[in-house]
Structure 1
Amino acid sequence: MRLMQFRPVYTHAKIGLFIAIMVALALIAWHTPYTAVRWLAYFGLGYMQMGMVTFMHDATHNVLFKPRWENWAFGILAMMPLLASFVAFKEDHLEHHRYNRSYQDPDAFTMGRRRPLDFVLFYGYVAASAPLSFLHFNLLYPIGKFGLRNWAIHLFETALKIVTFTLLFIWAAHEGVLGKAVALLLCPVLFFSLLNAMRFIAEHYETPWDEGKLTGTRTVLSNPVHSWFWNNINYHIGHHVFPRVPYYNLVELHRLIEPDIDGLGALVDRSYLAVFGKALWRGPESEARLKHFLDERGRVRKRAEVISRRAPVAG
């Protein structure tokens, strides 16, 4: 319960700092005459967008701010640069938590039978996670899942984006800077797309199938820079077990549940790049290959085995 307490001053200050960094990077990209510097600024903006999306992720669980309306407002605004629907992401993500690493999990597209379409989907997501997410959250998921309430919110978000970007592009065209404005909007998304695919795949790839939240999730210790800028999303096991704990308490939560993580042999790795590289090499999963790789790693143990070892001996 202590770890579920809100720290609104810290969160507001950190969001303000992130926005200031992004404004500075946008100004550099806009004004620099050097192509290399411009693309470095675009990369920085893509990296910072990843940070804003992890704030949005907490808003999805209503743990970024105490008032629920603030979580909704921030989520909708944070998703605007990516042109994606917050309400669709929210519903999809909560469903992912409910059915983590099972065939009902909407994010379990890495698991299949390794048929040609599985390879197309897997590597297509790696190459273009942002465009595919745009299609999924704006069209496919709403058509398949939404009722009237969510459709109303979704259409409001869509109208807000249409009006905002129409006005922006009209102004940019009038000022003769339409090309620069489009580049500033879209080029950072190229880098965000790759970073997002790396993070997303690392969180659950080759974790045990349909065995629960703790062992069905991976924590990536990574480094303090990623942890801070990406709001501790890398401490993902703790988040899945206790999704009501805000981002700034996930490190302490990890220490508290570390005996359970170690006892069940859940997967803790040290590098996003290492996990992502392995995933790129091995491609889409199948249950048979997953069992082989988990046995080969010798880390994850069945929950029943752990319980039997802990149980007192009768007599």
Structure 2
Amino acid sequence: MDASAGETAVPRSSRHQEAADLKATLKHLRTEPRGWVFSLKLALCAALTGAGVALALQPILWCRILGVILTGAMFAHAAELQHETLHNLAFRSRRANTVSGIVLGLPMLISFAAYRATHMRHHRDLGTPMNREFFDYGDQYGARGDRSRLAVALDQVVRFSMAHHYVFFVANLGRSLLGRDIPGENAVVSRRIRRDHFLAAAGVAALGALTWWTGQAVILWVWLLPLLLVAAPVHAVIELPEHYQCETLNRDPFANTRTIRSNQLAMWFTNGNNYHVEHHLMPNLPIERLPALHTEVRDRIRYFHTGYLDFFVKLLRK
């Protein structure tokens, strides 16, 4: 598939082996995870989430609307922070990565264990027909084929509502309650997935109990509305550019993945997800080192945009 207008093309001779060889020349970029950096990220996320919840519980409508938006945005941001823990890049301790990853996934009902298992396979299988991602949007990569505009539009409704994800969560919660293993996962991973689903269900139950005890719609304003109206579509927006309409049957990360060089605010909010080619090239590189890696490889990147707005404007024009 040709690069879209405005994207930087590199010779198609760049292949998976070349990328592997390139990694050997970039070892100088590797550093150990700095836990204090991620701790600051967690603290800021927690503070902004707390502010959002406080606003959402105010009796003034405009405060509640602002609170829903801020809380939902932080739910989506937490999912991006969780991605860092999947790779054990947040802390040096595997246990610390696991605990923080579990907590970060709770607002959006994202099982750390399920996400991690699927995501590691995604890194392994990207560029092959075996590739699957944890967040299933139906039309994952924009292969429109002969479908009508209406069918494509319905695909996007499913994508931005994240309906598949929540159906998947409910199905796995049912399996967990019945003590069953998760399809495609071994007994150990299935046990960890059941743990995550029980914790998420307990959190929802606690919010429900608080709603009943206070007589106010707490669960609606501080979780359900932020989740459905803000977090889900925002998370889908962040994820959409990663591989959408790239060469996803090509093993070369410069061809199957997209990078967006955006502003500092977007990089913070997406937790470096905009440097996605760089992440797939060196998935064990700490997130804060991705801009340095981008400087080294930017001329090789086939699918590139100068900002998220640039990507979506060009996408809508197609």
TM-score by length of 1: 0.79
Match of 2:209 among 170, 176, 190: 170
CA distance, structure 2, for counterparts of residue 63 and residue 175 of structure 1: 40
1:245 aligns to 2:289 (yes or no): no
* Alpha-carbon offset, residue 251 of structure 1: 0.9
CA shift digits 1:188-227 (9 cap, x unpaired): 1121111111121111112123222222111111221111
Structure 2, unmatched stretches of 5+, are: 1-26, 134-138, 176-180
Which residue in the other structure is 1:53 paired with? 79
Which of the numbers 160, 163, 169 marks the counterpart of 1:127?
160
Tell me if the contact between 2:80 and 2:273 (Cα under 8 Å) persists in the aligned partners: yes
- Whether the 8 Å CA contact 2:253–2:277 is kept in 1: the answer is yes
Q: 1:173 to 1:21 in 2, by over 3 A?
A: same
Identity within the alignment, %: 24
Alignment of 1:164-243 (within 5 A): 164-177=203-216, 179-189=217-227, 190-211=229-250, 212-243=252-283
Identify which of 136, 160, 163 aligns with 2:168: 136
RMSD: 2.5
Deviations 1:259-313 (A, max 9, x none): 433xxxx11102323423544565xxxxxxxxxxxxxxxxxxxxxxxxxxxxxxx
Aligned-partner SS, 2:205: helix
Q: Does 1:146 align with 2:182?
A: no
In the alignment, residue 93 of structure 2 is paired with which amino acid?
A: P
C-alpha offsets along residues 2-43 of structure 1, whole Å, 9 cap, x if unaligned? 43322111211221122111101210111251x233222211
For 1:137 and 1:113, locate their aligned partners in 2 and report how far apart those are by CA, in whole Å.
Answer: 29
2:166 maps to a residue whose letter is F
Is contact 2:86-2:101 (8 Å) kept? yes
Q: Give, in angstroms, the shift of residue 160 of structure 1.
A: 1.7
User: In 2, are the aligned partners of 1:222 and 1:270 still within 8 Å (CA)?
Assistant: yes
Which one has the largest radius of gyration?
1
Aligned match of 2:10 = none
In structure 2, relative to structure 1, the CA distance for the partners of 1:72 and 1:248 (3 Å cut) is same
Q: In structure 1, what is the Cα distance between the partners aligned to 2:105 and 2:312? A: 25
Partner of residue 160, structure 1 = 199
Change (3 A) 1:226 1:152: same
| Residue pairs, 1:1-315, within 5 angstroms | 1=27, 2-33=29-60, 35-107=61-133, 109-110=140-141, 111=143, 113-115=145-147, 119=152, 122-129=155-162, 131-136=163-168, 139=171, 143-177=182-216, 179-189=217-227, 190-211=229-250, 212-261=252-301, 266-279=302-315
Aligned residues: 275
- 8 Å CA contact retained: 1:85, 1:157: yes
Q: Given that residues 227 and 233 in structure 1 are in contact (C-alpha distance below 8 angstroms), is that contact kept between their aligned partners in structure 2? A: yes
Answer 1 or 2: higher relative contact order, Cα 8 Å, separation at least 6: 2
Over 3 Å counting, the alpha-carbon distance change for 1:20 and 1:188 in structure 2 is: same
CA contact (8 A) 2:52 2:69 kept: no
Unaligned segments of structure 1, at least 5 residues: 283-315
Q: Is residue 53–residue 79 contact of structure 1 (8 Å, CA) maintained in 2?
A: yes
Higher deviation after alignment, 1-10 or 219-228: 1-10
Counterparts of 1:48 and 1:162, CA distance in 2: 20
The answer on whether the counterparts of 2:126 and 2:249 sit within 8 Å (CA) in structure 1 is: yes
Shift of 1:183: 2.4
